Amino acid sequence: MTRKKKKRSVLKTILVILLLLVLAAFIAGYVFTAQQMKGMFKRFDQPAPELTCAYQYDHYQEAYPRQEVSFRSGDNVLKGYIYGLNNDKGVIVFAHGLGGGHDDYFPLITSLVDRGWRIFAYDATGSYSSQGKNTVGLAQSDIDLDRAVSYIENNSVFANMPIFVMGHSWGGYASAAVLNFDHNIKACVSMSGYDTPMAEYCEAADNMFGDKSFIAYPFLWVYNKLHAGRFASYSAVDGINKSDIPVLVIHGDNDEAIKYYGASVIAQQGRIKNQNVEYYTFETEGKDSHNGYFHTSDYLEYYNNELKSKVDELTNKYGDKIPDDETAAFVSSVDKEKFNAINPDVVDMIDAFLSKQLGAVSETEESETATEAAQEETTAEETTAAEETSEEPSEAEETSAEDEGNAE
């Protein structure tokens, strides 16, 4: 073997080794990322009553009866619940946030039922009463909401009712992203949502790893694509623009989970071309956070004066692994009436926004009915005229008849 051939052989060997090292590093990076995602998107079961401040359904059952239904999302069966069974104002399909279930939003749901709305709320994949080994990822909320709206559209219980979508956080993304599909949705309320799963993955990585987070971006992209497929790249902004329907975007400007000036939907106003979008920013301290605007001012004052020090003490001592007995002791000390009271400003805002669209829906339906009636009338007139014309002999036929009579 000549010296030149030996040199080429060595270079090839080095190149192969480098490629293998790069591949091994990528696999190791992906495995690490997948493990992080596994912890973030684990299954979330409903906590025992003594471990949560939120009222569970037994507290509302007598005043707010519900009908339980089920529908499929991929390989899993999801549980949905219809509230306000006799309300016919319109149906709001509600998508909850990550880490909980629809039960955590009972104060909002029941308040909207009181305003005459029928609510279809469900537990997403891997959440509370629904099937699923885990919650999969950030795009899963859009997949589940797409199936929930399809269920509504094909269920006679909701026949002729205008359909609205509403969601918070994980569900806030879904409520806007689902507008990319061809559903007959009249309006949307997106609360504290992100624009795309990838944007929020990267923002979360930035929070965890600081200026080294860019190293994780390729692995996050692969994870998102592998677990969400075609849903991986759906954008809330694209859905808002494509649908051109009324959309209300709500966000707190001190949101610690989905940054107001970061991955949020509200940060993308320059890209939103839909002229039917309204924005509302909560700026008041306490109500400017990810969940804070759901609470009343009375509760926020109570939290700051009596609960915050206890929460800080437990967090400093145990981090995010507070023992159940410590949690139960804390929960028992909380004024649950105050905790579960809903901020009336939020309810008023959502009710007013959606009710305003009912007028537009009615006007559209009346216009369509009038157009159809006019078309039917025009068709009837054209048919009558055609029949009359066919019954009257033409000038040529009359002349021909006269000629035949003269010949006879």
pLDDT in tens, 364-408: 444 444 444 445 444 444 444 444 444 443 333 333 333 333 333
Based on the fold, state whether residues 311 and 169 are members of the same structural domain. Answer: no
- If asked whether residues 146 and 160 sit together in one domain, one would say yes
Integer Cα distance of 182 and 189 in angstroms:
18
Q: Is 402 helix (H, G, I), strand (E, B) or coil?
A: helix
For the stretch 222-267, pLDDT in tens is: 999 988 899 999 999 999 999 999 999 999 999 999 999 999 999 9
**Mean pLDDT lowest among 60-69, 145-154, 161-170, 218-227:** 218-227
Q: What is the pLDDT, as a whole number, of residue 13?
A: 79
Residues 329 and 262 in one domain: no
Asked if 252 and 193 sit in the same domain, the reply is yes
- Among 198-202, 218-222, 290-294, which stretch is predicted with the lowest mean pLDDT? 218-222
- 335 and 187 in one domain? no
State residue 96's pLDDT score.
98
Judgement on whether residues 355 and 334 belong to the same structural domain of the protein: no
Residues 315 and 217 in one domain: no
349: nearest Cα among 287, 302, 305: 287
Are 248 and 291 found together in one domain? yes
Of 1-15, 149-163, 391-405, which one has max mean pLDDT?
149-163
Domain-embedded: residue 278 = yes
Residues 224 and 335 in one domain: no
- Residue 167, C-beta contacts closer than 8 angstroms, at least 6 positions apart: 94, 95, 96, 97, 141, 145, 173, 174, 175, 189, 190, 191, 193
Mean pLDDT of 331-355: 97
Sheet of 91-95, strands arranged across: 66-73, 76-83, 118-122, 91-95, 163-168, 185-191, 247-252, 277-282
* 58/72 same-domain check: yes
What's the pLDDT band for 27 if we cut at 50, 70, 90? confident
Structural domain that includes position 44: 37-295+342-361
pLDDT tens readout for residues 62-93: 999 999 999 999 999 999 999 999 999 999 99
Please tell me the distance from the alpha carbon of residue 406 to that of residue 398, in angstroms, as a whole number: 12
Candidates 327, 255, 253; CA nearest to 291 is 255
Quote the percentage of the chain above a pLDDT of 70.
86
**CATH code (residue 194):** 3.40.50.1820
Write down the pLDDT at residue 30: 75
289 domain residue, yes or no: yes
Q: Say whether both 236 and 316 belong to one domain.
A: no
What average pLDDT is seen over the chain?
88
Between these two residues, 276 and 38, which has the higher pLDDT value? 276
Specify the range with the lowest mean pLDDT, choosing from 215-224, 277-286, 296-305, 387-396: 387-396
- Distance between CA atoms of 187 and 245, rounded to whole angstroms? 6
Identify which of 69, 139, 129, 134 has the alpha carbon closest to the alpha carbon of residue 103.
129
Do both 334 and 349 map to the same domain?
no
Residue 22 located in a structural domain? no
Query: CA distances (Å), 102 to each of 39, 108, 167, 342, in order?
Result: 21, 10, 10, 15
Say how far apart CA 28 and CA 70 lie, in whole Å. Answer: 39
Q: How many domains does the chain have?
A: 2
